[in-house]
Amino acid sequence: MRVPIVRFDSPRSRSRLFAAVLISMALLLNVGCAASTNDDAGNAGPAVSTGALVSTKIADGQNPFAAAGIDDPQAFLNAFNAVKAAIAKGDKAEVANYILYPLRVNEAIGKHAMIQTRHEFVDQYDAIMTKAVKDAIANQNADHLFVNYQGVMVGNGEIWFGGSADTPQVIGMIAVNHNTGQP
């Protein structure tokens, strides 16, 4: 039995192949995201499940935040909990202490602002820390954080945390997103 040879010599054939590959990738990404679960329907947790609970990984001696470049998982949890508490209290100055400046604030697609200083952040706090952003961190359970090479995501991407390259490492917010598509 002979296997037919498929050639992609013409531009039309190559563009069809390219379109087929793009469609396949889009379907795989969609299926992967749709297959994720969120154990607590009231939790504005991650859109993608991270598997084992963060606390379980830490108890097993693993660093669940290593992919984000964060060296000390307990230091991350301390910073996360401090930011969560400061936002709940409306303590603008304390929240400003946990930002790795410049802070990127993403608005509509393609539009963003860079907050350069603590003073600038405190002055613009109410515009940056919208109800959706505050709700995302208030509802985020630390055991269900999403982590990748870009950082640690809160909610559906409303807040991203990261770690500095300094020694000792500094952990803080690196981005706030207002364009997550959530109500």
**Domain with 151 in it:** 54-177
Residue 35 falls inside a structural domain: no
Tokens matching residue 32 = 């992967």
Domains in the chain: how many in total? 1
We report the CATH number of the domain holding residue 152 as: 3.10.450
- What is the number of other CB atoms lying within 10 angstroms of the CB of residue 176? 25
Whole-number pLDDT of residue 31: 39
pLDDT in tens, 145-177: 999 999 999 999 999 999 999 989 999 999 999
Residue 160 falls inside a structural domain: yes
- Distance between CA atoms of residues 56 and 53, nearest Å: 5
- What is the number of other CB atoms lying within 10 angstroms of the CB of residue 55? 14
This prediction has a pTM of 0.71
Max avg pLDDT among 1-15, 75-89, 168-182:
75-89
User: For the chain, what is the mean pLDDT?
Assistant: 81
Residue 49 falls inside a structural domain: no
Residue 75 falls inside a structural domain: yes
Given a cut of 70, whether residue 38 has pLDDT beyond it is no
Q: Which of the four pLDDT bands, split at 50, 70 and 90, describes residue 89?
A: very high
Residue 33 falls inside a structural domain: no
- Distance between CA atoms of residues 37 and 39, nearest Å: 6
Given a cut of 50, whether residue 48 has pLDDT beyond it is no
Residue 23 falls inside a structural domain: no
Residue 38 falls inside a structural domain: no
Residue 144 falls inside a structural domain: yes
* Mean pLDDT calculated for residue range 112-130: 97
